[in-house]
Amino acid sequence: MTNIKNSWAEPYKIKMVELLKMTTPAQRKKAMKDAGYNTFLLKSEDVYIDLLTDSGTSAMSDRQWAGMMLGDEAYAGSRNFYNLERVVKDVYGYKYLIPTHQGRGAENILSKILIKKGDIIPGNMYFTTTRLHQELAGGKFEDIIIDEAHDSESEFPFKGNVDMSKLERLIKKYGAEKIPYVSVATSVNMAGGQPISMKNLRELRALTKKHGIRVIHDMTRVAENAYFIQQREKGYEKKTIREIVKEINSYTDGATMSAKKDALVNIGGFLAVNDWDVFEEARNMVVVYEGLHTYGGLAGRDMEAMAIGIEESVSDEHIRARVGQVIYLGQKMIEYNVPIVKPIGGHGIFVDAKKFLPHISQDAFPAQTLAAEIYLDSGVRTMERGVVSAGRKANGDNYYPKLELVRFTIPRRVYTQAHMDVIAESAARVYERRDKIKGMKMIYEPKYLRFFQAKFEKLT
């Protein structure tokens, strides 16, 4: 019986449900207009299936909820902090922990400590908050991801890889002393959740070691990256996700973490480092920006839920089902000929808006437009990852990223396969009437991270 599939299924059953509100086309039309055609400005109650982000939107387990009841809300030295510290050391392998309210809190502290004015921070593609904190600290981000990452057609299995020759050129040009660290992300978000290979991480470690440069890991989705290494990289087929995660981290000197993604909590993050000096400074600085170093802006119960979530996040069954669901949605879209970034990434499907709406120029915001159209069709909320998200350079010019994408991000353990069908069908319906869709103009633009709050109007 060789043709019987060995399907993944959710390694949990449902104990409680949250009812969803269905909307009419007229209601959605009004809601979208009121929101300035920015899906970030929609009210959640007007949304049917919410794929805006996988950040803080995961469903916690009964064990995590039980952990919430064990919160030790002492101002200093909460028991939950020590639990979290133990799990971070155990599962991730980093020595010292500073909790923060979420990922950007850790980025702020780390950037302030390590970056001096005029420094260069190479990274495998930018991330919005990460780059902004690097710039606010006086640094300049330089992209060193391989060219394949910018090509939505390339099926290279590790599109998150660092191009070592790009890094070497930067070191030669600026000198190692101008490069405080290399910022390396696993499951590169802006490239479509594309993984970096273990081989590449090993090479990065060797090169940076030679020049005395640190590697700081944006480990927001490290477990999802580990799954792709297990599936695609020779020598890792038999290793557990837990083992792979630990090996990835072993090639880096520290990490910033948004626990709202991989770690299955609704709020939380941390900075973790192996260097005592950096830790000491960070432990002091966290008091200014987040809170005492044994809570960093979190309640004790949040830290407990995070500690339990981290353990659950590196289970092989969990990750197989998690990524399996994303791949299921991607394959449905491919069946409907909807152009998506391939290979399918770990946390969502990225629709290629330049290919979907080739008649709309980047100045008329094709991805922003498409996200609005998907919502109007079905109440499914997605988000733009293109020219709006990329923002402006220091001189005021727009960044024009090669990738102009709409992200369908899948929250962990929240939606079912039937929801995935409904989502793919909506994308297919909008694709059928793509010729009739016109672009938009921006009518309000905030100074920082404009994609969150910008407003638009339809072009006629």
Ligand X SMILES: *Cc1c(COP(=O)(O)O)cnc(C)c1O
- Residues at the site binding ligand X, with contacts judged by CB under 6 A: 55, 102-104, 127, 129-130, 185, 189, 218, 220, 258, 260-261, 269
Pick the catalytic residue from 29, 62, 75, 416: 75
Nearest of 117, 118, 120, 116 to residue 170 by alpha carbon: 120
Task: Based on the residue annotation, tell me whether 63 is a catalytic residue of this protein.
Answer: no
Pick the catalytic residue from 127, 295, 375, 408: 127
Pick the catalytic residue from 239, 260, 354, 385: 385
Task: Based on the residue annotation, tell me whether 354 is a catalytic residue of this protein.
Answer: no
Instruction: Closer to ligand X by CB, 127 or 456: give it.
Output: 127
Instruction: Closer to ligand X by CB, 83 or 102: give it.
Output: 102
Task: Based on the residue annotation, tell me whether 350 is a catalytic residue of this protein.
Answer: no
Instruction: Closer to ligand X by CB, 54 or 304: give it.
Output: 54
Task: Based on the residue annotation, tell me whether 54 is a catalytic residue of this protein.
Answer: no
Most distant CA pair in the chain, distance: 64
Nearest of 330, 314, 305 to residue 66 by alpha carbon: 305
Pick the catalytic residue from 128, 208, 369, 382: 128
Q: How many CB atoms lie within 10 A of CB 452?
A: 14
Closest distance of CB 261 from ligand X, Å = 6
Closest distance of CB 419 from ligand X, Å = 22
Closest distance of CB 335 from ligand X, Å = 28
Q: What is the rounded CA–CA span in Å between residue 157 and residue 232?
A: 7
Closest residue (Cβ) to ligand X?
103
Instruction: Closer to ligand X by CB, 296 or 339: give it.
Output: 296
Closest distance of CB 132 from ligand X, Å = 10
Closest distance of CB 56 from ligand X, Å = 7
Instruction: Closer to ligand X by CB, 188 or 314: give it.
Output: 188
Task: Based on the residue annotation, tell me whether 356 is a catalytic residue of this protein.
Answer: no
Task: Based on the residue annotation, tell me whether 261 is a catalytic residue of this protein.
Answer: yes
Task: Based on the residue annotation, tell me whether 451 is a catalytic residue of this protein.
Answer: yes
Q: How many CB atoms lie within 10 A of CB 447?
A: 8
Instruction: Closer to ligand X by CB, 131 or 239: give it.
Output: 131
Asked if residue 322 lies in contact with residue 341, where contact means CB atoms within 8 angstroms, the answer is no
Closest distance of CB 312 from ligand X, Å = 18
Q: Which residues are catalytic?
A: 75, 127-128, 218, 261, 385, 451
